[in-house]
Amino acid sequence: MRLFPETKIDFMKYRNYLITISLIVIAAGMISLWVKGGPKIGVEFTGGTLLTVQFNEPQNFNELRNILASSGLDNAVIQEYGTNGVAIRIPEFEAEPEGNLREALKGKNYEVLGVEGIGPQVSRSLQKKAWLAILIANAGILAYVGYRFKPVWGLAGVIALVHDVLVTVGFCSFFDKEITLSVIAAFLTLIGFSINDTIVIYDRMRENLKLKKGLDFREIVNLSINQNLARTALTSFTVFLVVVALFFLGGQVIHDFSFVFIIGIITGTYSTVFIAAPIIVSMEKG
């Protein structure tokens, strides 16, 4: 079967428009972050206590807030969690948060689904580890791609990755998604996916540089992208199938992870063609 006809689209012609669109999307994300006072950060990185509680009937949030306040949990923030569930976030780390909760929710029918209590030491170390993982991943990619292809190509690839992360962080802000440990994992996976996509094009470019000596660099890039168009569409589509399944069926815990990754697939595929490739074209010219 063949759904994709042979194409000869001049992708590089549109690069300035598309880079502008990217910049607008990133700027919108940054503005959203600024308006909302920075990204929402999960309890594992800020420290504090997060209790997820399942009730068997819908709860009135105002009532719940008052009940919690009257039993000493006055700075608790309540959020909806699944159906009839709530996530209660307390800014301080408490060693035995259920004690207070039990006192507060006396007479109600509930079950504690999970507790995440993170002291300042732990949150600091998790923050450090998250940054380290992102840095190491990027540095490793930069080194490997630079070594296998050309340093400039590696740099362009990493710029595309930074683009993907910025766009996704912006979307997280639009949709009020918290940056949690699993969202960080999703970021790293999207970095993996995006670079994977970029390298497939790079490989084709390297091959075409050898085969088609007469073409100028811009034509080589265009040709490589066109030749790989079917593959790009098919792969992105199959990965998309999996992630959409995780998003809708995977339950609360991997919901945010899949959300980030859905955005990541789109921006990862896009950034190869419209960020990494144009940068190389500009640099190889100059």
Site for another protein (CB under 8 A): which residue of 19, 134, 209, 266? 134
Which one of 71-79, 163-171, 193-201, 268-276 is the stretch in contact with another protein (CB under 8 A)? 193-201
Nearer to another protein, 108 or 129 (CB): 129
245 makes contact with another protein (CB under 8 A): yes
Q: Which residue has the tokens 């194409």?
A: 7
137 makes contact with another protein (CB under 8 A): yes
Which residues ranging from 34 to 63 are in contact with another protein (CB under 8 A)? 52, 54
| Count of residues that bind another protein according to CB under 8 A | 81
226 makes contact with another protein (CB under 8 A): no
Three-state secondary structure of the chain: CCCCCCCCCCHHHHHHHHHHHHHHHHHHHHHHHHHCCCCCECHHHHCEEEEEEEECCCCCHHHHHHHHHHCCCCCCEEEEECCCEEEEEECCCCCCHHHHHHHHCCCCCEEEEEEEEECHHHHHHHHHHHHHHHHHHHHHHHHHHHHHCCHHHHHHHHHHHHHHHHHHHHHHHHCCCCECHHHHHHHHHHHHHHHHHHHHHHHHHHHHHHHCCCCCHHHHHHHHHHHCHHHHHHHHHHHHHHHHHHHHHCCHHHHHHHHHHHHHHHHHHHHHHHHHHHHHHHHHHC
211 makes contact with another protein (CB under 8 A): no
2 makes contact with another protein (CB under 8 A): yes
Nearer to another protein, 24 or 234 (CB): 234
Site for another protein (CB under 8 A): which residue of 56, 60, 95, 285? 95
253 makes contact with another protein (CB under 8 A): yes
Site for another protein (CB under 8 A): which residue of 98, 103, 176, 216? 98
Which residues ranging from 64 to 93 are in contact with another protein (CB under 8 A)? 93
What binding mask, one character per residue, do residues 140-159 give for another protein by CB under 8 A, x or -? xx--xx--x-----------
Nearer to another protein, 153 or 171 (CB): 153
Nearer to another protein, 204 or 218 (CB): 204
